[in-house]
Amino acid sequence: MRNKIIFVCAAAVLLIAAFLLGGTEETVRPETETTSIATTTEPSTEFTSSAITTQALLMKESTESSSVEPATLTQPYTEAAQETQTYVEPVTETTTAALVYLSVDYKTLIGKYDKADQNMGVVYTGTHTYYSGETAFDLLRNAMQAAGIPMEFSKTPVYDSVYIEGIDNVYEFDFGEMSGWTYKVNGVFPGYSSSEYILSPGDRVEFVYTCDMGRDVGNEYSVSEGNS
């Protein structure tokens, strides 16, 4: 009877132990599942890293592709600029205006006329734009008017010419019977009225006052009507 009780107690202990062991296994399972979840999470991390890497590569390719575009666009623009510069050069040369030169003086009056002593006998000097068909007289009249220098002249219908009577208040015969105004172009006295002399580009026109029929200013011929 005593042995039977001991056997029953031992069986009960085994049952209790088995029950306890079964409960321990059930509590361990959640840890195993948690570990498996952590394990399955790793591929998700790798996928995210891979996606970021792929996106970075795409952004780099896009940046490299866009950086090439300015170089492609710059070349045609540079060529166009060179063509424009090449085209401008001849325009500048062809638009350069031709010039004519004018001077007026009564240097022969130095020592005889106070104003001539003050300005060294120089009444006017200037450079003007050449206009086709302009005469020596046109050049003088326009210059004197622009400079505010008084000038008087008369026309001779018979000869269709103009005679210069006075410039800067100095007139013919003021300093003798052989005094008056004459002119020369490029160092040569034409021998006819200044209203008949058609200018050419680069001409140098000089109106000078003579006290000796032109001989004192380099003209060997008498001063004829029309300020030759």
Name residue, tokens 């002249």. 153
The pLDDT of residue 86 is: 42
Where residue 213 falls among pLDDT bands split at 50, 70, 90? very high
Is 124's pLDDT higher than 80?
yes
Where residue 36 falls among pLDDT bands split at 50, 70, 90? very low
d(CA 119, CA 98): 29
Residue-wise pLDDT for 134-151, tens only, equals 999 999 999 999 999 999
The pLDDT of residue 119 is: 93
Mean pLDDT of 89-118: 81
What is the 3 state secondary structure string of the chain? CHHHHHHHHHHHHHHHHHHHHHHHHHHHHHHHHHHHHHHHHHHHHHHHHHHHHHHHHHHHHHHHHHHHHHHHHHHHHHHHHHHHHHHHHHHHHHCCCCEEEEEEECHHHCCCCHHHHHCCCEEEEEEEECCCCCEHHHHHHHHHHHHCCCEEEEEECCCCEEEEEEECCEECCCCCCCCEEEEEECCECCCCCCCCCECCCCCEEEEEEECCCCHHHCCCCCCCCCCC
The answer, as to whether pTM is greater than 0.85, is: no
Q: How many residues does the chain have?
A: 228
